[in-house]
Amino acid sequence: MDTLEKLKILSEDSQYDLACACGTGKTDRRRRGLDGKWLYPVTLPNGGYSVLLKTLLSNSCSNDCGYCPLRSDRDVRRCTLQPDETARVFMDYVRQGKVFGLFLSSGVIGDPDQTMERINGVARILRNKYRYRGYIHLKIIPGSSDAAVEDAISLASAVSLNIEAPGRARFQSLSKKKDYMNGIIRPIKLMSRLTWRGYRYERVKCTTQFIVGASDETDSEIIDYTFGIYRRLRFQRVYFSAYQKGLGNPGIPGENAALDPKERFMREHRLYQTDFLIRKYGFTRGDIILDKYGNLRLDKDPKEVWAESHPEFFPVRVNTSEKEALLRVPGLGPETVLRIIKARMEGRIIGLENLGLKGKRLERALRYVICE
């Protein structure tokens, strides 16, 4: 295969790695295709728009991850890009103005450090040979040595390592080969230490991702770990990827889960809403209300569930309440709250519709506020 043919295969296969895949604009946000599967913002050689050139260095892999369609026992078309050809093609895209950065991951070629040598090699060529100073996101391979992790961080703008499951017991149902504590938790903690505020690499962002529904974990377990990742490790983002039934090993719990595809994606969506409440709304762990099985409700967003459980908190007074109270109102997001605060500096607000709020969001908010 020539370079572009390999890149086409590897870019398409990179869709299974979702960290850094959710943007805010129409062109960089993932979307659901007609077949119900998600389409991810990657730039392919045959066209298509992306913020990042997102590709694997290789889809060959020695690991046995039960949720992954590229695991070692699968019969798929395998190929590998060399570091120099990957760097060369990426710089061609940069010169054409098609991308602003690179997201580079890989299957495990041989062992973790061999793979990291290749991944880091691409970044090193870009930084040293091409003098590229733009955005590079590098994937840390589970089980990588401390030296390989630090080398990646020294070259990257952002790094990520998928935590995959909340805890060793859940993880062991997905892989018999990988060691959760040494292969996942140890390098994740090292990433945190090396990028801590005031340290040498504080500019580098760290992210991670859960494969939701691949094991038989509850939302409660994922949320507990998410709070820990933000509060103790200070990671910038936690991502959630709904396991797509039929892609993995028939023996993993996710293949026997009762949720249908629509419900699995809704579960992922509710976890993202919860993540937003944690990061942007100041919700504590006790504010996240779960059902008796330890899961989020699929029929209602978690902010509205909290509001219905705390009638004593409402109505919130639009003209006088603090920012924190306004953020608790269903239908009001951070941008709307800032508009409210700015508008009431200039005069009394007589209705939310005057601030651009409309439709279902306006209808929802009006149940919880009062404009005296």
Domain contains 289: no
Q: Quick one: 137 and 34 in the same domain?
A: yes
Average pLDDT over residues 164-172: 96
* Residue 333, pLDDT score: 92
Is 327 within a domain? yes
Look at residue 265 and tell me whether its pLDDT is greater than 70.
yes
Mean per-residue pLDDT for 47-67?
76
Answer yes or no: do 121 and 242 share one domain. Answer: yes
Q: Residue 171 is part of a domain; what is its CATH number?
A: 3.20.20.70
In a domain, 154, yes or no: yes
Measured from the Cβ of residue 298, the count of other Cβ atoms closer than 10 Å reads 15
Tell whether the model's pLDDT for residue 209 goes beyond 80: yes
Residues 110 and 171 both lie in one domain: yes
Residue 299 inside a domain? The answer is no
**Structure-derived torsion over alpha carbons of residues 196, 199, 203, 209, reported in degrees to the nearest 10:** -30
* Counted domains in the chain: 2
Domain holding 326: CATH number? Answer: 1.10.150
**Residue-level length of the chain:** 372
Q: What is the pLDDT of residues 85-120, one digit of tens each?
A: 999 989 998 898 777 788 899 999 989 999 999 999
Q: Do 234 and 353 belong together in one domain?
A: no
Structure tokens at 162: 């998928």
Question: Letter for the amino acid at 237?
Answer: R
Indicate whether 210 and 337 sit together in one domain.
no
Domain boundary among 257, 276, 295: 257
Confidence of residue 336 (pLDDT cuts 50, 70, 90): very high
Domain containing 354 equals: 310-370
What is the pLDDT at residue 263? Answer: 93
pLDDT category of residue 24 using cuts at 50, 70 and 90: very low
Q: How far is it, in rounded angstroms, from Cα 342 to Cα 354?
A: 13
Work out the number of other CB atoms within 10 angstroms of the CB of residue 245. 16
The top-scoring range by mean pLDDT among 117-131, 241-255, 353-367 is 117-131
Between CA 241 and CA 158 the distance in angstroms is 19
Buried b (16+ CB within 10 A) or exposed e, 350-360: eebeebebeee
Q: The tokens of 203 are what?
A: 């500019």
pLDDT at 72: 79
Please, which residues have CB within 8 angstroms of residue 211's CB and are 6 or more apart in sequence? Answer: 67, 162, 164, 165, 174, 241, 243
Q: Report residue 77's pLDDT band, with 50, 70 and 90 as the boundaries.
A: confident
User: Which of helix, strand or coil describes residue 136?
Assistant: strand
Q: What pLDDT was estimated at residue 37?
A: 35
Same-domain check for residues 180 and 107: yes
Residue 262 lies in a domain: no
Number of other residues whose CB lies within 10 A of the CB of residue 190: 18
Give the closest residue to 90 by CA, choosing from 103, 79, 80, 109: 103
Q: What is the pLDDT of residue 4?
A: 76
pLDDT at position 210 over 60:
yes
- In a shared domain, residues 200 and 321: no
How much of the chain, in percent, has pLDDT values that exceed 90?
A: 64
Which residue pairs from 91-100 have beta carbons closer than 8 angstroms and sit at least 24 positions apart in sequence? 91/126, 91/130, 91/132, 93/43, 93/53, 94/132, 94/134, 98/43, 98/49, 98/50, 98/53, 99/43, 99/50, 99/51, 99/52, 99/53, 100/51, 100/52, 100/134, 100/135
Q: Are residues 215 and 316 in the same domain?
A: no
Percent over 70 (pLDDT), the chain = 89
186 and 330 in one domain? Answer: no
Could you tell me if 28 and 99 lie in one domain? yes
Q: Which two tokens stand for residue 368?
A: 């919880």
Q: Note whether residue 295 is domain-resident.
A: no
Cβ(116)–Cβ(123) below 8 Å: no
Comparing 162 with 248, the larger pLDDT belongs to 162
Show the DSSP H helices in the chain as ranges: 3-13, 83-95, 112-128, 146-155, 168-172, 186-194, 219-231, 261-280, 302-309, 323-326, 334-346, 359-366
The answer to whether residue 283 sits within a structural domain is no
Of the residues 220, 237, 257, the one at which a domain ends: 257
Burial of residue 318, with CB atoms counted within 10 A of its CB: 0-12 exposed, 13-18 middle, 19 or more buried: buried
Q: Please check whether residues 105 and 192 belong to one and the same domain.
A: yes
- Is residue 273 situated within a structural domain? no
3-class SS of residue 253: helix
Pair (228, 335) in one structural domain:
no
Longest dimension (CA), the chain: 70
Quote the pTM value.
Answer: 0.87
From residue 300, how far is each of 30, 201, 261 by CA, in Å? 22, 40, 18
Which of 108, 3, 99 lies closest to 42 in space, CA to CA?
A: 99
29-50: per-residue pLDDT in tens?
A: 554 444 333 344 443 334 444 4
pLDDT at 21 over 50: no
55 in Cβ contact with 136 (< 8 Å):
no
Q: Which of 196, 231, 257 is the last residue of a domain?
A: 257
